[in-house]
Amino acid sequence: GDYSQKIDYVFKVVLIGDSAVGKTQLLARFSRNEFSLDSKATIGVEFQTKTLIIDNKTVKAQIWDTAGQERGRLIVIAYIKAFVGRRILYRAVTSAYYRGAVGAMLVYDMTKRQSFDHMVRWLEELRGHADQNIVIMLIGNKCDLGSLRAVPMEDAEEFAQRENLFFMETSALESTNVETCFLTILTEIYRIH
């Protein structure tokens, strides 16, 4: 018999957002059904893959994680914008990450208002690098910490509607909506390709 699986599509999806919002744990939950409360030293690889069936087709999701360089990159970008005033160097820093991406998850921590306010900047970076028709999902992670909520759902819904993004709240810890958000974005990517 032939045990090799025929892959119909490979979709690259990038995770972006501030440090510590839970990008790596969302990916660990989705790809391996794992979660770690102490996830500092997790990342040695640049992406994880998971194969799933959508509409009878075999879809390989290749999910890229930023390996904790978020803060440094934003500072570098701000510096270059301020002192060089050109986009060339700035693009070189991040373009490899976005190259070929057909989907993006913009992740904030719903207990950290600043991580939501920074979504504007992440979206700007994304739109500066990615394809026109990239599918984008806004994710408010850590919804298990409801009593610490700092971002009202309406604020996120309004932002998502204005910017034409999908939106979901998730918990990598409790596994809430994790499968659903990846399935939703991958299904939409499949639909438009």
> Which residue ranges make up the site for ligand GDP (CB under 6 A)?
19-25, 36-37, 39, 68, 141-142, 144-145, 171-173
Q: Which of Mg ion, ligand GDP, none does 171 bind, CB closer than 5 to 8 A by kind?
A: ligand GDP
Q: Which of residues 10-69 bind Mg ion (CB under 5 A)?
A: 23-24
Element counts in the chain: helices (H) and strands (E) = 7, 6
Q: Which one, 80 or 115, has the nearer CB to ligand GDP?
A: 115
Residue 141 found at the interface with Mg ion (CB under 5 A): no
Region of residue 128 (phi > 0: left; psi between -120 and 50: alpha; otherwise: beta): alpha
Q: What is the CA radius of gyration of the chain?
A: 17
Beta bridge partner(s), residue 137:
105, 166
Q: Which one, 87 or 121, has the nearer CB to ligand GDP?
A: 121
Q: Which one, 20 or 93, has the nearer CB to ligand GDP?
A: 20
3-state secondary structure 128-141: HHCCCCCEEEEEEE
Tell me 144's DSSP state. Answer: T
Smallest distance from the beta carbon of 105 to Mg ion, in angstroms?
12
